[in-house]
């Protein structure tokens, strides 16, 4: 048997994993930006009645995300497990998986294994492979006519925004990352002065990938030394984030306490690891100016 570093299966009508209501289960963490991607797609497509959901805590048990901790988390409805690691062990009894026990996880009850633990793939599965189960099948997060724009925007976000705050281990790397990040915000602010969303007038997977990063900027990243300007300095970008935040399907996926918790209770930080009360984020409720773009 060969080792592997990710679960990257697909759901297809004629494959091992077929689109069936009640068969699949999604595990997310409300603090994790990658899990947040899958959760937003899940809500936008209206898959709640076909796929049930569990939520792990931002704190860990023996180094792994645990179930049923702070408000907003749930027990494991599948097997009563205490941590996500147990679910990975269930899927991989031969111990061939070499990756980390991360979220999101799309679980298959029928075969008792993980379909995918890659957020990008799960978003695509929800978008196109489960339309027969979706309440909103006409929502298309990756339409053919804007794929090139979506791919280019996603590539820019991944290279210049999404991973910058996690990659620095020295002052020199930090200064380069800091410059790349804020130059990237300037670029995105300019782009978004011309269209409501990154690829036009509809939300796509590129917008989801940017939103899950920037909704964490003020409650977490700004205090992690990425503090040149607050998001409100960038008028188009700030209103764009407000627009997405105020979306009736996206807003319920945002939990600022869990977002702060995952960054401020990391084991690499000194004790005491306290979740800050602030900052005040009421400005996300202020009406945006994006409708007429």
Q: Which listed residue (24, 32, 234, 245) is catalytic?
A: 32
Q: Is 142 a catalytic residue?
A: no
Share of residues in the chain with pLDDT > 90 (%): 88
Question: Is 118 marked as binding a ligand?
Answer: yes
pTM higher than the cut 0.95: yes
Tell me the three state secondary structure of residue 178.
helix
From residue 74, alpha-carbon distances to 87, 114, 209 in Å are: 15, 19, 25
CATH number of the structural domain spanning residue 220? 1.20.1050.10
The answer to whether 246 and 288 have CB atoms below 8 angstroms apart is yes
Q: Is 197 a catalytic residue?
A: no
Tell whether 96 and 148 lie within a shared domain: no
At 106-148, the pLDDT tens digits run 999 999 999 999 999 999 999 999 999 999 999 999 999 999 9
Question: Is 107 marked as binding a ligand?
Answer: no
d(CA 79, CA 249): 29
Which burial class, exposed, middle or buried, applies to 52 when counting CB atoms under 10 A from its CB (0-12, 13-18, 19+)?
Answer: middle
Range of the domain at 67: 24-129
Q: Which listed residue (24, 42, 88, 166) is catalytic?
A: 166
Tell whether 161 and 69 lie within a shared domain: no
Report the pLDDT value the prediction gives residue 155, as an integer from 0 to 100. Answer: 98
Could you give the number of structural domains in the chain?
Answer: 2
Question: Is 41 marked as binding a ligand?
Answer: no
H or E stretch at 37: helix 33-45
Tell whether 154 and 212 lie within a shared domain: yes
Question: Is 103 marked as binding a ligand?
Answer: yes
């Amino acid at each position: 048997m060969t080792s592997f570093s990710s679960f990257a299966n697909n759901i297809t009508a004629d494959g091992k994993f077929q689109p069936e209501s009640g068969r699949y289960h999604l595990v997310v963490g409300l603090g994790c930006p990658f899990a947040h991607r899958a959760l937003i797609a899940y809500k936008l497509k209206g898959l709640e009645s076909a796929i049930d959901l569990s939520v792990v805590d931002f704190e860990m048990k023996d180094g792994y995300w645990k179930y049923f901790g702070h408000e907003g988390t749930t027990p494991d409805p599948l097997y009563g497990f205490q941590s996500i690691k147990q679910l990975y062990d269930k899927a991989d009894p031969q111990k061939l998986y070499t990756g980390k026990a991360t979220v999101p996880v799309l679980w298959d009850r029928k075969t008792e294994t993980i379909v995918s633990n890659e957020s990008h793939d799960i978003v695509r599965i929800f978008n196109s492979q489960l339309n027969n189960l979706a309440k909103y099948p006409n929502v298309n997060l990756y339409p053919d006519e804007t794929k090139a724009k979506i791919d280019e925007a996603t590539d820019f976000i991944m290279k210049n925004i999404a991973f910058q705050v996690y990659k620095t281990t020295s002052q020199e790397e930090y200064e380069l990352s800091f410059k790349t990040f804020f130059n990237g915000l300037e670029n995105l602010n300019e782009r978004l002065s011309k269209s409501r969303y990154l690829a036009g007038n509809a939300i796509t997977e590129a917008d989801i990938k940017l939103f899950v990063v920037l909704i964490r900027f003020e409650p977490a990243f700004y205090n992690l030394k990425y503090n040149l300007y607050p998001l409100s300095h960038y008028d188009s970008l700030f209103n764009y984030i407000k627009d997405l935040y105020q979306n009736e399907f996206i807003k319920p996926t945002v939990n600022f306490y869990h977002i702060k918790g995952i960054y401020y209770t990391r084991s690499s930080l000194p004790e005491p690891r306290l979740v800050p009360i602030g900052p005040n984020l009421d400005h996300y409720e202020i009406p945006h100016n994006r409708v007429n773009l």
